[in-house]
């Protein structure tokens, strides 16, 4: 079978019908699928989105202003949640340009990162993160036992969430904590805005409901410990990119680069604690 046909077959088999959160059958015509059980939403055609070296350039992963905003936001969450980093073995999955990895290392954590884009792994290494602790997938990481795992706007990109969590369990010990921040299906802004919702863009293939996400992690031995509203210090450049993706209207991104605001819009923060061995 040609590679392209094999890829299409693989996508169609598990994801056209089954919810990636709870496994229940999906409903709906067109490109969107809806879960009647947990209310998660997914778009099967987006599951093959290609993350090449042009991706971080467009999303501003290597932009200093965006990196500063991301660090300021992460530091705010870390203080709010009381999650000290010193002496911890921390893993960030989908670390973008690596700014938060480098910052955690400055706080005294031993850090590792997973990032499929080679340009992003190179950027993190240039910030002082040891290249041997950077990998394209969980499968490539050494057998470390991580205390803290972070998914900062990344878990919604995982194309095989159940397999991912099985591998994560082999890399974490009971008592480990995982922090997720991601857009969710059961938020007021999505219900009001529908397909004009800014988070509904081509590289986001699944929008978990809060209940569906909790079910998924609980089935793999993680208990939901905390939920919070993840306010972000967002660069005007980030906002401009999302607007461009929705409207295809170019904005003066360079002029917006130096602006930033605190914003909470359509996302949820969750902390899970590993209870299983």
Spell out the domains of the chain, with CATH numbers in brackets: 51-184+211-274 (3.40.50.150)
pLDDT at 114: 97
Which of 47-61, 122-136, 193-207: highest mean pLDDT? 122-136
State yes or no: pLDDT of 6 exceeds 70: no
pLDDT at 209: 97
| Closest to 69 (Cα-Cα) out of 183, 232, 242, 251 | 232
State yes or no: pLDDT of 35 exceeds 80: yes
State the DSSP H helix or E strand holding residue 167, giving kind and residue range, or none if neither. Answer: helix 161-171
The 10 Å Cβ neighbour count of residue 180 is 23
State yes or no: pLDDT of 16 exceeds 80: no
- pLDDT, mean of residues 75-97: 96
* pLDDT level of residue 142 (50, 70, 90 thresholds): confident
More confident residue, 56 or 117: 117
pLDDT at 70: 94
d(CA 35, CA 145): 34
Rg of the chain over Cα atoms, rounded to whole angstroms, equals 18
Residues found in the chain: 277
pLDDT at 277: 65
DSSP state of 48: G
DSSP state of 25: B
265 to 69, 81, 138, 158: CA distances (angstroms): 16, 19, 30, 21
Q: Which of 48-57, 123-132, 241-250 is the least confident region?
A: 241-250
pLDDT at 11: 36
Q: Is the four-CA dihedral 57, 62, 68, 70 of positive or negative sign?
A: positive
For the stretch 194-235, pLDDT in tens is: 888 989 988 999 999 999 999 999 999 999 999 999 999 988
pLDDT at 253: 65
Contact 33, 42 (CB under 8 A): yes
CA end-to-end span of the chain: 40
Which residues does residue 223 pair with via DSSP β-bridges, in sequence order? 273
Q: Which of 31-45, 65-79, 131-145, 236-250 is the least confident region?
A: 236-250
Whole-model pTM?
A: 0.89
Contact 71, 99 (CB under 8 A): yes
Angle at 162 between CA 157 and CA 166, to 5 degrees: 115
The 10 Å Cβ neighbour count of residue 6 is 10
Give the pairing type, strands 260-263 and 232-235. Answer: antiparallel
State yes or no: pLDDT of 168 exceeds 50: yes
pLDDT at 38: 97
Which residue spans within the chain are E strands per DSSP?
Answer: 26-27, 33-35, 41-42, 89-93, 110-114, 134-135, 146-152, 172-183, 206-207, 222-228, 232-235, 260-263, 267-274
- pLDDT, mean of residues 3-19: 45
């Amino acid at each position: 079978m040609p590679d392209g046909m094999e890829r299409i077959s693989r996508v169609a088999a598990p994801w056209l019908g089954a919810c990636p959160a709870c496994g229940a059958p999906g409903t709906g015509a067109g490109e969107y699928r809806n879960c009647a059980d947990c209310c998660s939403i997914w778009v099967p055609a987006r599951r093959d989105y290609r993350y090449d070296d042009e991706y971080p350039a467009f999303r501003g992963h290597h932009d200093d202003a965006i990196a500063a905003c991301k660090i300021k936001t992460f530091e705010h969450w870390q203080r709010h949640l009381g999650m000290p980093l010193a002496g911890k073995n921390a893993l960030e999955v989908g670390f973008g340009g690596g700014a938060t990895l480098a910052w955690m290392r400055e706080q005294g954590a031993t850090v590792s990162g997973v990032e499929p884009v080679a340009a992003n792994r190179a950027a993190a290494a240039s910030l002082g993160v040891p290249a041997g602790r950077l990998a394209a997938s969980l499968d490539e990481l050494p057998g470390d036992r991580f205390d803290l795992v972070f998914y900062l706007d990344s878990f919604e990109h995982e194309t095989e969430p159940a397999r991912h969590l099985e591998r994560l369990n082999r890399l974490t010990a009971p008592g480990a904590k995982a922090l997720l921040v991601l857009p969710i299906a059961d938020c007021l802004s999505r219900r009001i805005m529908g397909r004009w919702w800014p988070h509904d863009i081509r590289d986001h293939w699944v929008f978990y409901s809060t209940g569906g996400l909790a079910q998924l992690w609980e089935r793999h031995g993680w208990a939901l410990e905390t939920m919070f509203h993840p306010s972000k210090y967002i660069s005007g450049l980030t906002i401009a990119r999302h607007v461009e993706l929705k409207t295809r209207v170019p904005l003066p991104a360079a002029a917006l680069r130096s602006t930033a605001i605190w914003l909470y819009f359509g996302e949820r923060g969750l902390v899970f604690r590993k209870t299983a061995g």
